[in-house]
Amino acid sequence: MAIPWLTALKIVPWGDVIEHAPNVLKAARKLMDRQKAEPALKTGTDVDMAGQSVPSLGELQNRLIAAQVQLDDHAQTQAQLTETLAALAEQNAQLVSAVETLRLRTRLLLWGMAALAVAMLWLGWH
């Protein structure tokens, strides 16, 4: 059985979501800035060659080129993921802001409806 939307929305701790949204956005922006600031590649990894014959210089160059291409692909993928995370955090902040606005408008509408009901009852008695 599916949870009705209103019940699901009431379960979400909107106060916590609203409170933490700016922090999430700041963290995503810092991650994106740090990603841009770091050098694209770091070299100097050791490979365990025990038990293998010594490869030729050409084979080592081919492996190095293949590893460089793979590292470039991973760096590009990581940069795209970082940008996506920042965009999602921005959208989350906008969503939280919109939800808060809707909550305030709903409260105002309910108070207006209550005032209208009281006015109608008062007019009915007179």
Predicted confidence (pLDDT) per residue in 76-122, tens digit: 888 888 888 888 888 888 888 888 889 899 999 999 999 999 999 99
- Gap between the Cα atoms of 25 and 39, Å rounded: 23
Predicted confidence (pLDDT) per residue in 21-61, tens digit: 777 777 777 777 777 776 554 544 455 555 578 889 899 99
pLDDT for 47: 52
Tokens 């007179």 correspond to 126
